[in-house]
């Protein structure tokens, strides 16, 4: 049989197309089998873990045991140190200063003279009043004796008594005016200011002249304001610790001297701390001080970490672990100190409370304790 060239060409083209079709079909079948094996393998792995056990549905949590303890709170506030007594000495008489007896920085005793005013006229008035008083007193004694004998009428003895009382009053006034010419300090302390000198004219009441300022820092006071939420935690006589930046690491002991019953516009209450001034590490009025109050420490109560409470303290709830399950329970929260909170009711000592992992829990959820 004889074939032409055209027939040979058509036969070659058909063979080539057939070969390509077979190759492509084989590749598609191989890819499909591979994909199917991969999907089957993944499904098998997911359905059958290596352990061969069912997947656990319990939540992992950390817990603590509710315990009773005394809740102590540390409250620290900054205040200003003040002198135990700070007195402005005023002039009680009028006149020119003739002498000064104390300089700024001097340690004075109570009653010590600071300055003296011209006293010539007042001394003379004092002496005249003293003589008049002595005469009236002797006259009264003589008239009293005569009256007892019936030698003088009652009107005469009454006049003598009146003269005596009048002379005594004038004598007391004159003596006081003479004494006021010597300006003295009413307290013991350090003279911090003396704005008058020799020759200064002093005025008395109603606009007395300032003669000196005397400060007693043998004892000190720390004045500060306490917020209304903390004021009922403080009591007069409670011990406190005082520190200052002037003496780093040095602590001073003090006690609450006064707690005001009246607050200011900012709803804070003035409190004063009394403390002794140290001779080795002396403090001065006007310095800043940090006062640490030790509040609480009373009867023991249930205390748990603050992080165990779900929600706010006003509507506090906790998860209590019982037989492998977390029970959501409402509790009544009390004082909060640092990272701890007092539980007044709803929780018993020894119960197990969830402190970590409770955000993903629901009531009666199964749990696994990891600590």
Q: Which residue has the higher pLDDT, 46 or 347?
A: 347
Q: Above 90 in pLDDT, residue 33?
A: no
Note whether 166 and 187 are within 8 A (CB): no
Maximal C-alpha separation, the chain: 200
HSE at residue 204, side-chain half, CA atoms within 13 A, is 9
Which pLDDT does position 5 carry in this prediction?
46
Mean pLDDT of the chain: 86
3-state SS assignment for residue 78: strand
* Of 11-25, 63-77, 241-255, 327-341, minimum mean pLDDT range: 11-25
Local structure of residue 281 (DSSP, 8 states): S
| Listed residue (340, 349, 344, 346) closest to 319, CA to CA | 346
3-state SS assignment for residue 256: strand
Q: Above 90 in pLDDT, residue 140?
A: yes
Q: What percentage of the chain carries pLDDT values higher than 90?
A: 64
Q: Is the dihedral of CA 303, 304, 305, 307 positive or negative?
A: negative
Per-residue tokens: 170:
């004038």
Which pLDDT does position 116 carry in this prediction?
96
Note whether 48 and 191 are within 8 A (CB): no
Angle at 297 between CA 295 and CA 302, to 5 degrees: 120
Which pLDDT does position 334 carry in this prediction?
82
The total of other beta-carbon atoms located within 10 Å of residue 357's CB is 18
Which pLDDT does position 232 carry in this prediction?
87
Per-residue tokens: 280:
């080795």
Band (1; pLDDT cuts 50, 70, 90): very low
Q: Which residue has the higher pLDDT, 339 or 327?
A: 327
Band (43; pLDDT cuts 50, 70, 90): very low
Q: Which residue has the higher pLDDT, 64 or 2?
A: 64
> How far apart are the C-alpha atoms of 151 and 170, rounded to whole Å?
30
Q: Above 80 in pLDDT, residue 365?
A: yes
Q: What is the mean predicted confidence (pLDDT) over 148-176?
A: 94
**Which residues are within 8 A (CB) of 73 and not within 5 positions of it... i.e. 6 or more apart?**
233, 294, 295, 296, 335, 337, 338
Q: Above 50 in pLDDT, residue 120?
A: yes
Which pLDDT does position 49 carry in this prediction?
45
pLDDT tens for 179-206 read 999 999 999 999 999 999 999 999 999 9
Note whether 240 and 273 are within 8 A (CB): yes
Which pLDDT does position 129 carry in this prediction?
96
**Which residues are within 8 A (CB) of 178 and not within 5 positions of it... i.e. 6 or more apart?**
119, 122, 123, 125, 126
Band (52; pLDDT cuts 50, 70, 90): very low
Q: Above 70 in pLDDT, residue 169?
A: yes
β-sheet with 113-117: strand ranges across? 182-184, 113-117, 95-100, 201-202
């Amino acid at each position: 049989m004889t074939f032409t060239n055209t027939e040979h060409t058509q036969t070659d083209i058909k063979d080539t197309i057939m070969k390509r079709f077979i190759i492509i079909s084989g590749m598609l079948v191989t890819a499909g089998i591979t994909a199917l094996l991969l999907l089957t393998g993944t499904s098998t792995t997911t359905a059958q873990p290596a352990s061969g056990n069912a997947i656990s549905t319990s939540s992992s949590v950390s817990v603590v045991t509710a315990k009773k303890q005394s809740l102590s709170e540390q409250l620290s506030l900054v205040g200003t140190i003040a002198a135990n007594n700070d007195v402005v000495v005023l002039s009680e008489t009028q006149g020119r200063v003739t002498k000064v007896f104390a300089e700024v920085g001097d340690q004075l005793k109570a009653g010590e003279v600071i300055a003296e005013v011209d006293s010539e006229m007042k001394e003379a008035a004092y002496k005249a009043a003293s003589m008049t008083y002595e005469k009236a007193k002797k006259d009264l004694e003589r008239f009293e004796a005569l009256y007892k004998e019936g030698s003088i009428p009652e009107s005469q003895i009454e006049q003598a008594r009146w003269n005596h009382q009048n002379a005594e009053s004038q004598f007391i006034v004159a003596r006081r005016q003479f004494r006021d010419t010597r300006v003295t300090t009413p307290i013991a302390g350090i003279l911090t200011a003396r704005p008058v000198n020799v020759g200064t004219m002093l005025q008395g009441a109603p606009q007395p002249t300032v003669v000196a300022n005397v400060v007693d820092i043998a004892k000190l006071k720390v004045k500060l304001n306490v917020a209304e939420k903390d004021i009922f935690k403080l009591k007069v006589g409670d011990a406190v610790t005082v520190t200052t930046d002037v003496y780093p690491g040095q602590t001073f002991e003090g006690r609450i001297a006064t707690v005001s019953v009246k607050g200011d516009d900012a709803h804070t209450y003035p409190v004063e701390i009394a403390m002794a001034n140290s001779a080795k590490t002396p403090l001065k009025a006007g310095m800043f001080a940090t006062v640490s109050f030790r509040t609480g420490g009373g009867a023991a109560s249930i205390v748990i970490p603050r992080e165990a409470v779900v929600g706010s303290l006003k509507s506090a709830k906790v998860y209590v672990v019982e037989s492998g399950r977390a029970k959501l329970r409402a509790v009544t929260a009390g004082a909060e100190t640092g990272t701890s909170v007092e539980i007044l009711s709803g929780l018993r000592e020894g119960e197990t409370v969830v402190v970590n992992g409770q955000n993903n829990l629901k009531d009666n959820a199964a749990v696994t304790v990891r600590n």
